[in-house]
Chain A
Amino acid sequence: MWYQIFKFEIQYRIKRPDTYVFFLFLFLFSIVGVDFIFQGSEMGLMKKNSPIVIAKTMGAITGIFMILASMIMGVSVLRDFQYNIESLLFSSPIHKKDYLLGRFLGSFTVLLFAFTGILFGMILGEFMPWNNPDELLAFNALVYIKMFLFITLPTLFFGAALFFVTGALTRNLMVVYTQGIFLFVVFMLTKAINNEFWQAILDPFSLTTTTFVTKSWSALEKSTEDLPYFGALLYNKLFWFSLGIVALIYGYKKFNFNVVKEKRSKRKQTVAFKKTTTNDTIVIPDSKKHYGLGSKWTQLKQFTRFYFTTIFKQASFWCIVICGMIIILINSVNLGTVYGVDSYPATYFIVEELKETSMYFFLILLVFYSGELVWKERGAKLDLIYDATPMSSFMKLLGKYIGLNLIYVVLMLALICSGIIFQTVSGYYDFEFQIYFFGFFLEILPFLALYTCIAFFIQSVVNHKFVGIMMVIIFFIANIALGLFGFDHDLYFFGGSALGAYSDMNGYGHFLKPYLLIKSYWFLFGILLLIIGSLVNVRGTETNLVKRLKGSKYRLSKPLFKLASVVCVLFIAIGSYILYNTNVLNTYWTDSQVTEFRVAYEKELKQFEYIPQPKIVDVNLQLELYPATRDYTIEGYYLLKNNTTEVIKSIHIQKLLEENITLNRVSFEVGFTVDNQYEKFDYAIFNLNTALKPGDTIKMHFKQSFRTKGFESGNSNVNINNNGTFFNNTDLPTIGYNRKYELNDEDERKAYILPKRPNKANRNDVNELKNARSGSDSDGINFEMIIGTSKDQTALVPGNLLRKWTENNRNYFHYKMERPMINFYSIVSAEYEIKKDKWMTKDFIPQPVDLEIYYHKKHDYNIDRMMTSMKASLDYYGKNFSPYQYEQLRIMEFPRYAQFAQSFPGTIPFSESIGFVLDIDDEKDVDMVFYITAHEIAHQWFGMQVEAANIKGHLMILETLSQYAAMMVLKQQYAEEKLLHFLEHQKEVYKKGKDREAINEPSLSMVENQDYIYYAKGAINMYEFQKAIGEENVNKAIRSFLEDWNTTNGKLKMTTDRYATSQDLLGYFREVTPEHLQYLVTDLFEKVIPVGL
């Protein structure tokens, strides 16, 4: 008997279009599955079709689209109730067992069929032309099949059982839909488990499981080895499989063949014959009917309230709300974490966390409830009554639309509540409601509102609920894909770009206005879609799309036509204004245009890379900064000196390739002519009338301006801000060819037939040995600058502050560095609070060093820690390495658009996100504010005093030594345990970096740009090294190294024109290492030995 039911189920589904839509969808998606799932994360050495990649991709796709499983399984029993044939079925002599078993197996078979789309899609994906053969192993279909059976099948079975049972028991479609959320919540909850093993067992999609079972694997193993099926992976699968069985048994026990749910009996039964009197006497009052705008408004309110209430009253909606609140409370545990230390639960962190985790919930609401609402009347078979009333279809659709948006608002308010609860529990009471408000109602709500327009439009046109849902999802993915391929102009990338990050210092800054404009543009488009949707949606019994289209002209009422025209005109007007801003005032570049430009730059200009050019030796500038309009003008001169042995006839000047910047004027003291043949690269060649002889100098005057014109598409410049400007001298004219404009990506270079290039030059590269930075145009400068900014801001550049005055309602500052410094200076201006102190030492410097911290007024949490670190670092480095060279040391906070701190001569710009708001618990955390400050101060030695040649190992000298120095200060200030705690974290960073590594790991002394090596492994190995040979010995080596290689007066440096290399440094290390430990220098720094874990 069950077989009959099974057969019937299959035959029924075979005729349904949804079955094939699901299959096709999964199939198409899976073709790009690997790229999609691993998009944005480096795959390292893992091949794209290695077992672990396939396993993870299958697990993730299965997880993401579990919702399809709910759509297939959930309706299996529910359908009988929907079509009111339950009484026929259940009164026939079928056994419950046969009925349930047949239905379950039937729909599960169909589910399996749909999900084989993943299998076939991924297999086909391997043969797609865009795959790089180097990234693939030989094709092996067996691997795919094995993973499908082992990863996807058990998960599917569990999902199928769960969805089937809930569908059968609740008989409510929305409950079925929202179950996907439960699985998601379970998945998120497992991430909060600390025990890796249990996390691996409990992950329903076995993503963490595959990571867990392969965590000790080498890169090679990960790229080729089959997964170990025994152990955690098997337990995981058994666990979820048996849960599925449990669900089925429970469902079987609970399922009742009663047609009516038993709860009904509680309600008082209707008495049909309560009164049999005729009511002839009742006169029906003749109410006035209104059809004007006023009545439309009342109707809109009525619709809105009605549809809002229907969702608001649903239990499934409240499940989503509660899940959302819970998951956020659990997930907010890791907030703005830097090196394992959490930040204060500042509102913007909470809002970001809330946004990130709740997106899935909102999307579920959007995708399913929009379908539900459009189908509401038809679902209840009330459509004909509705359709015959004189209501406007548009008002009805709009009412549904607004109602759904209000539902989002309810969820948002709930999330805000949970955020506030979290803050209160954490003892943080500065709630900043406006940030909550902006974060949700300015960022998420418009996004949802726009996509809801799409969803309503699609559902109105398609006239098939499930197909509509799928098309909405496809639209989402297609739009994301469009953006990924670089087609992201705000005028055609649906919804436009996201709002830039919120910063305490700069608020939403200059992002807000274009954001709102672009959102209004799209919103008008959305209204047009709704209008069209309301014109073609099904009203009455005609479902044929063509006929509906034809009939729509009779449905366009005059007021609606007026509205559509106004919206259309506004849409075009705002669109044109945006186009004027993005493409006329500014130039819009697609990604491929940028790539081609870079290729041309390299092909045409590479010839000039190492031609003899003079070096900048003096910089004297006057900068006028206008933060309110985001403009500046800078003028003055560079003094250039010919340090080469050749006569220089022409000077090559590169302007920064940024549209807002104009190089208004460049002139030289002697006569010159300009060769503008490379103008398109903003590269000009100045032929001097009188050649520059070796040793001669020449003044180059210039004026450059930065003008903000309207706004750009996508993200605009975040260096010049209303509050918190931070840029450096690489924005100013530079001399000669700029390597930074070359294409980086190896595959792209290959595609454009550009030669392979290493990230860093080899040790024997004669040219780069003489460069301290890539394309360096200076070996050290004298620096002087006057900077003017708005009255409320303080502007800072390196150097002593000679004078400060106010003129024309603007603040002016005159800085001069009294000693030579590297040609690398920051320009910073913002509203600041200032903390001042002095550092004195008897032994080294005659006068005290001014210590200053410039910070945003609310960010005073860790100022004392920074100050302590400044003193401790100056003490330690001064005593153990060499004297501090400047008369001041400043830390300046800048907005969180970038998340780093960076050292310039005597000045350290420090991002607001990484130190100022960390919530350090001295009991359990490492004082990372202290550490980062110490690290950056160490750069005043490693980077400012000694510079390293721009070759492999460059960053070992600059960064690894700074890590070492900072660790020693940390150890001195706190305790060895804290340092070990810090090193634990470095080990993790190293491990993660190594997993992402695409080429083989280099040794420390040959490191290129791998931060996990020069930071993390560097710290670990330096710690081991000093442990073995003694801190004092290491310091001694560094002392000698500095003495010999100091840029301005190093004993060896003065005899050569090259800079120090890691090889040089290791020489000093060897000198202080006893004979029996010499091997350590080799092992730690020259060999590639993975850090012991």
Chain B
Amino acid sequence: MELLIDNLSKTYSNGVKALQNISLDIPTGMFGLLGPNGAGKSTLMRTIATLQEADTGNVTLGEINVLKQKNELRQVLGYLPQQFGLYPKISAEVLLNHFAVLKGITNKGERKDLVQALLHKTNLYDVRKQNLKGYSGGMKQRFGIAQALLNNPKLLIVDEPTAGLDPVERNRFYNVLSELGEHTVVILSTHIVDDVKELCTNMAIINQGQVCLKGNPLQILENLKDKVYKKTIEKTELPLYKQNYQVISEKLFLGKPTIHVLSDTNPGDGFSLIDAELEDVYFSEIFNDTNFKSN
């Protein structure tokens, strides 16, 4: 099974070009979709999840034309939106059961087993009778993934699932996700580089509605091998460095700015070569695109 996105474009009525000729081949496995806020990730995800119309282009999952055969796609789709709420006065078990029916699991016995299994899987079994109103952010997110898995999806779309989760919850969440990648096309959109680093076998970076980069994280890192240098500087020097070097990121380390620069040769001047991180890739791509206009 493979998800093919071909030349997908979408312009909103207010003129924002959310997607511009996006083409991606997404094989089975975890696929990371990386991009800053407002890059068009959610639009892309929603379009694949049949929740939004595209202006032009094509999306297919195996035999299914995603844009036309919406219901066929929905039968094999698991979707966890970026933001969602829950009915406050209903328990997780009841709501999960409700969604199971909607997804076509109409055999009562099977449905019960499935719901139990998923509640165990997502570690919600002990609180399954509690009203959803009392759920914490992490529990809510785990419930979200539980509902997405109900129909044993062939395509799973999770939109920024780890935003707002504490590290423990995040790990727990990854564990659940990583298991799925074996048989399923999983698209994980995020603006957190670590998410992709830890989970994904393939990835793409999109910015301003366009794909800037796609491929295997390891290969991508290979491209930056021996090109990223680091230096800790004073705050006041920052503009100067920005003028002279291709600064791809700046971070505070113990209160002082640490900059990463991209360079084919060793710039000297106190810079030291480091192993490129995925974050550097990300920042370099974003840098290429925007030239840090906003900074």
Contact = CB atoms under 8 A, between A and B. Distances in A.
Interface of A: 264, 267, 269-270, 272-276, 278-280, 282-291, 294-295, 298-299, 302, 306, 310, 313, 380-382, 384-392, 539-542, 544, 547, 551, 554-555, 557
A284 B114 contact: yes
B50 A380 contact: no
B34 interface: no
Interface in B103-158: 103-107, 110-111, 113-114, 117-118, 120-123, 126-127, 130-131, 134-136, 138-139, 144, 147, 149, 151-152
Contacts of A557: 71
Nearest to A386: B102
B256 interface: no
B50 A540 contact: yes
Contact of A290 (B74, B107, B114, B122): B107
Q: Which of A280, A388, A557 has the most CB of B within 10 A?
A: A388
A282 B175 CA distance: 12
A313 B104 CA distance: 26
A291 B138 contact: no
B4 interface: no
B147 A385 contact: yes
A969 B150 CA distance: 84
A280 to B, nearest CB: 7
A295 B106 contact: yes
B235 interface: no
A541 B51 contact: yes
A278 B107 CA distance: 29
Contacts of B138: 272
A279 B51 contact: no
B102 A289 contact: no
B70 interface: yes
Contact of A289 (B118, B139, B147, B151): B151
Contacts of B172: 278
Contact of B105 (A288, A386, A555): A288
B51 A287 contact: no
Contacts of B179: 280
B161 to A, nearest CB: 13
Contact of A278 (B70, B89, B101, B175): B175
Contacts of B169: 272
A313 B89 contact: yes
Given A389-B103, A541-B46, A291 B84 contact: no
B68 interface: yes
B52 interface: yes
Contacts of B147: 385
Given A291-B75, A299-B101, A267 B152 contact: no
B36 to A, nearest CB: 20
A183 B256 CA distance: 66
Given A289-B75, A289-B103, A295-B104, A270 B85 contact: no
A269 B135 CA distance: 9
Given A291-B104, A389-B102, A389-B103, A382 B86 contact: yes
A389 B53 contact: no
A277 to B, nearest CB: 8
A211 B121 CA distance: 71
B248 to A, nearest CB: 34
B81 A385 contact: yes
Interface in B59-76: 68, 70-71, 74-75
Contact of B79 (A278, A302, A384, A539): A384
B253 interface: no
B5 interface: no
Interface residues of B, number: 62
Contacts of A542: 52-53
Q: Which are the 4 A-B pairs with shortest beta-carbon distances?
A: A540-B51, A381-B85, A388-B79, A390-B74
A79 to B, nearest CB: 16
B126 A274 contact: yes
18 contacts: A269-B134, A270-B134, A273-B168, A282-B120, A285-B114, A287-B100, A288-B110, A289-B75, A295-B106, A298-B101, A380-B86, A381-B84, A384-B51, A388-B74, A388-B81, A390-B74, A390-B103, A541-B46
B49 A388 contact: yes
A539 B107 CA distance: 26
A562 B140 CA distance: 40
For the complex, would chain A's binding face be called helix, strand, loop or mixed by DSSP majority? loop
Given A270-B136, A389-B103, A391-B102, A382 B87 contact: yes
B117 A299 contact: no
Contacts of A392: 71
A557 B71 CA distance: 9
Interface of B: 13, 46, 49-53, 68, 70-71, 74-75, 77, 79-81, 83-89, 98-107, 110-111, 113-114, 117-118, 120-123, 126-127, 130-131, 134-136, 138-139, 144, 147, 149, 151-152, 168-169, 172, 175, 179
Given A299-B101, A390-B75, A382 B84 contact: yes
Given A284-B121, A381-B85, A540-B46, A390 B71 contact: yes
Given A267-B134, A388-B77, A554-B70, A287 B175 contact: no
Nearest to A294: B106
Given A269-B134, A287-B110, A554-B68, A384 B50 contact: no
A546 to B, nearest CB: 10
B66 to A, nearest CB: 11
B178 to A, nearest CB: 10
A834 B127 CA distance: 74
A291 B107 CA distance: 12
A302 B99 CA distance: 10
Nearest to A277: B123
Q: Which of B77, B84, B138 has the most CB of A within 10 A?
A: B84
B104 A282 contact: no
B114 A287 contact: yes
B79 A385 contact: yes
Contacts of A390: 71, 74-75, 77, 102-104, 151
A391 B74 CA distance: 8
A302 B105 contact: no
Given A279-B121, A381-B83, A389-B74, A287 B105 contact: yes
A288 B107 contact: yes
Contacts of A267: 131, 134
A287 B71 contact: no
Q: Which of B46, B85, B120 has the most CB of A within 10 A?
A: B85
B127 A289 contact: no
Nearest to B48: A388
A274 B46 CA distance: 34
Contacts of A306: 98
Nearest to A270: B134
Contacts of B86: 380, 382
A270 to B, nearest CB: 5
Contact of B120 (A279, A299, A385): A279
A541 B52 contact: yes
A285 B106 contact: no
Nearest to A279: B121
Nearest to A275: B123
Contacts of B13: 544
A285 B110 contact: yes
A294 B101 CA distance: 12
A272 B136 contact: yes
Contacts of A288: 105, 107, 110
B54 to A, nearest CB: 11
A264 B152 CA distance: 36
